[in-house]
């Protein structure tokens, strides 16, 4: 019984440390186990009310595998497609970032 409890506690602590390491990164962090580089990109481009084609071009381009992270409750982002079919993201309200 103690062994199962110890294993569970170690797993929980490991997960907590992993999440903490990802959330505090400003630019890049490395995971030495598989040499993956994670880049943090702030979603700081505000959406415009009447979005035009030129507005969409100024939004952040999403890439395959990007993950949008909401940094605050009540955060809202919008995703648009540009003329070439690329997904673009902008911030409606709150605070968010991408993990790439």
Q: Is residue 20 part of a domain?
A: no
Q: Is residue 46 part of a domain?
A: yes
Q: Is residue 86 part of a domain?
A: yes
The alpha helices in the chain, defined as continuous H runs, are 2-23, 53-58
pTM of the model as a whole: 0.63
Classify the C-alpha dihedral 91-95-99-100 as positive or negative.
positive
- The span from the CA of 19 to the CA of 35, in Å, is 17
Split at pLDDT 50, 70, 90, the class of 83 is very high
For the chain, how many structural domains are there in total?
1
Q: Is residue 14 part of a domain?
A: no
Q: Is residue 11 part of a domain?
A: no
Split at pLDDT 50, 70, 90, the class of 25 is very low
- What number is the average pLDDT over the span 75-95? 97
For 39-57, write each residue's pLDDT tens digit. Answer: 999 999 999 999 999 999 9
Range of the domain at 57: 28-99
Q: Is residue 23 part of a domain?
A: no
Q: Is residue 62 part of a domain?
A: yes
Q: Which residues pair with 43 in a beta bridge?
A: 96
């Amino acid at each position: 019984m103690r062994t199962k409890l110890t294993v569970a506690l170690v797993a929980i602590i490991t997960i907590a440390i992993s999440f903490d390491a990802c959330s505090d990164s400003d630019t890049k962090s490395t995971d030495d186990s598989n040499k993956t580089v994670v880049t943090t990109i702030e979603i700081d481009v505000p959406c415009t009310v009447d979005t035009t084609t030129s507005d969409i071009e100024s939004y952040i381009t999403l890439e395959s595998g990007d993950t949008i992270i909401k940094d605050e409750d009540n955060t809202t982002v919008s995703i648009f497609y540009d003329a070439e079919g690329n997904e673009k993201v902008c911030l409606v309200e709150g605070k968010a970032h991408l993990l790439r």
